[in-house]
Structure formats: structure tokens, C-alpha cells
Amino acid sequence: MGRTTVTADDLRAWVRRCGDLVTEQARALTELDAAIGDADHGANLKRGMAAAVEALAASADTPDAVLRTLAMTLISRVGGASGVLYGTFFLSMADATRGRDSLDLRTLTDAIGAGVSGIARRGRAEAGEKTMLDAWYPALDALRASTDLVPALEKAAAAADAGRTATGPMLATKGRASYLGERSVGHIDPGAASTALLLRALAEVMGGRAS
């Protein structure tokens, strides 16, 4: 039988895998950001994830503690809009999982839903505006439509990848990219790209393909 719950150890493994994938893709993320942003998304997120791995090495025994430590580290080390948005996401997840020793699919989905709502509120954004939400929303829909944890995460990762790709032809109406107007069309949103990496990392960890 496949895994049915996510523990604090799983979340720490998720952070480590996120760090690996972000490091591998840091240059690509920065190149995406150079086209429509500040050209620092990959470097900043790489630095933040490395700091989070270190911060979680010997602490945080519950899911909400892991998520809160991750959030505060990203806020302090990533900087800019992405640091605040990812920090808000993980803080909202932490609040939604307080007091739980492990997370089943429903609890995890609700927590991710809380995180996505936090991003939408903080960024004053919605679907279709060429932001990270365009990867988070389809992933969340995939989770809500599923009944088994590991297959659900695989579907969510695939949905996020599709959402990432779908940002290419969109016109940016939020964030720095919105200043470019029509010139933002044809470029993948870097936040959607990093979101897809985070979801892929979680699917890999829970599917036993990363530690």
C-alpha cells in the first residue's frame, strides 16, 4: 500500500528536495525572471532554500513547526515579492496544520488551499494574471479531485507543470511583469515555474523517488 500521510520528516525531505531542484534550475529561473522581472528569482530562491535546509537540520518536530520555520526563513532570506508570497503560503499552511502529527490527503489539500488563498490575498491576484497562482490553482484542483495521496501529488505536479506552461501566452496584469504590457506575452512566469518545481519535489519525496 502507498503512503497515506505526510510527516514532519517528510516535509523536511521535501525542503531538501526543493533545495536540490531549485539549485539545478536556478539559472533557468533567473533567465525567466530576466525577461519579465528583476533577474534574481533563481538566485534568491536558491539562497532561501539552502538556508531553510540548514534551519531544519535539527529542529521542528511537527508539520506546522517545519512549515513555520520554512516560511520565516524564506521571508528573511529570499526577499522581494517572491519571499513574501512563499512565506505567506507556508505560514498559512502552518496555521492550517497546527496540532497535527501528520497530514492525510484531505488535511494536506486543505493546508495547500489555505496557502494558495494566502498568496491570492497578499498579492491581490487571481487566476489568469500570469503569476504563480496559475500553477497553484490547477495543482489544488488536482488534489481536490483525488482520493489517494501519492497519485494525487503526481497529478498535482503534472497540473502545475501544465499551469506553468500556460502562463507563456498570458498578458501579465500583476507584479513587475505587468509594467511590460504586451511585451510580457510569450514568457513563462518565473513564480509559476518555481511553484511547479516545489510540487514536483513533493511528489518525488512521497513517491519514494527522493529522500
Q: How far is CA 70 from CA 11, 147, 161, 167, in A?
A: 10, 27, 23, 27
pLDDT in tens, 55-73: 998 766 899 999 999 999 9
Cα of 12 vs its chain's centroid, Å: 14
Instruction: Map the chain to HEC letters.
Output: CCCCEEEHHHHHHHHHHHHHHHHHHHHHHHHHHHHHCCCCHHHHHHHHHHHHHHHCCCCCCCHHHHHHHHHHHHHHHCCHHHHHHHHHHHHHHHHHCCCCCEEEHHHHHHHHHHHHHHHHHHHCCCCCCCCCHHHHHHHHHHHHCCCCHHHHHHHHHHHHHHHHHHCCCCCCCCCHHHHHHHHHCCCCCHHHHHHHHHHHHHHHHHCCCCC
Give the model's pLDDT for residue 140: 98
pLDDT in tens, 113-151: 999 999 999 999 999 999 999 999 999 999 999 999 999
Q: What is the pLDDT of residue 38?
A: 83
| Low-confidence residues in the chain, pLDDT < 70 | 1, 59-60, 211
Residue 98, all three cell numbers = 497546527
Model-level pTM? 0.95
